[in-house]
């Protein structure tokens, strides 16, 4: 007969695979640092676009593109607010222990994943009215000094560039959401 006491005492343990409170704190701090870096880069990008747009409008560089440019600047302000509201990095409360700390980290990962997977709604859509208006103006108002064939090629290039850029933005957000999904599991 097998000695159950011997088997029980000598069974392999899971200590190497267990997560400790210090691991949870390190992961939470790493998540917070990544979120702050990502949001900081997006804030800087938006503020730079707003500054350039307002400078171009104040100089009167292209008066017919003033309204679409202001719509895009307003979209940047909306996106800055959404970034702060939806994805700001929340600090890990120092008083949490054990399962509560793990639940907090899982909740933060889930919140970030949900924000990134829904970015098409709060990040991409606000830019579309101004972008479509600007592309429509470029397609219908032909410069006098450009041959029509070159003008059509430039409009096609702008449309394809916009499609490529916004597809890349969406794919980047979806990739980030998928990475967070893996970490949650």
Report pLDDT digits (tens) over 125-174.
999 999 999 999 988 887 778 888 888 899 999 999 999 999 999 999 99
Single pTM value for the model: 0.81
d(CA 105, CA 121): 25
d(CA 141, CA 121): 30
Residue environment code for 139-149, b if the CB has 16+ CB neighbours within 10 A, otherwise e: eeeeeeeeeee
d(CA 73, CA 175): 26
150 phi-psi bin (left φ>0, alpha ψ -120 to 50, beta other): alpha
Per-residue tens of pLDDT for the chain, all 185 residues? 567 777 767 776 655 556 788 888 898 899 999 999 999 999 999 999 999 999 999 999 888 899 999 999 999 999 999 999 999 988 888 888 878 888 898 999 999 999 999 999 999 999 999 999 999 998 888 777 888 888 889 999 999 999 999 999 999 999 999 999 999 98
Kindly tell me the burial class for residue 32, based on how many C-beta atoms sit within 10 Å of its own C-beta (0-12, 13-18, 19 or more): middle
Q: What is the dihedral of CA 157, 163, 165, 169, to 10 degrees?
A: 180
> What is the pLDDT, as a whole number, of residue 151?
85
Does residue 119 contact residue 53 with C-beta atoms inside 8 Å? no
> What is the pLDDT, as a whole number, of residue 15?
56
């Amino acid at each position: 007969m097998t000695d159950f006491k011997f088997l029980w005492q000598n069974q392999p343990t899971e200590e190497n695979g267990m997560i400790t409170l210090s691991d949870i704190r390190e992961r939470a701090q790493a998540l917070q640092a990544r979120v702050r870096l990502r949001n900081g880069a997006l804030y800087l990008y938006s503020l730079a676009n707003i500054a350039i747009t307002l400078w171009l409008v104040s100089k009167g560089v292209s008066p017919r593109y003033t309204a679409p440019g202001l719509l895009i600047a307003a979209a940047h302000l909306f996106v800055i607010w959404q970034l702060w509201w939806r994805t700001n990095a929340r600090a890990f409360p120092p008083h949490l222990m054990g399962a509560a700390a793990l639940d907090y980290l899982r909740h933060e990962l889930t919140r970030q994943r949900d924000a990134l997977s829904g970015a098409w709604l709060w990040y991409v859509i606000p830019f579309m009215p101004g972008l479509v208006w600007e592309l429509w103006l470029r397609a219908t108002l032909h410069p006098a000094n450009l041959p029509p064939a070159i003008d059509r090629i430039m409009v096609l290039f702008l449309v394809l560039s916009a499609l490529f850029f916004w597809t890349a933005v969406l794919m980047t957000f979806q990739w980030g959401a998928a990475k967070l999904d893996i970490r949650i599991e």
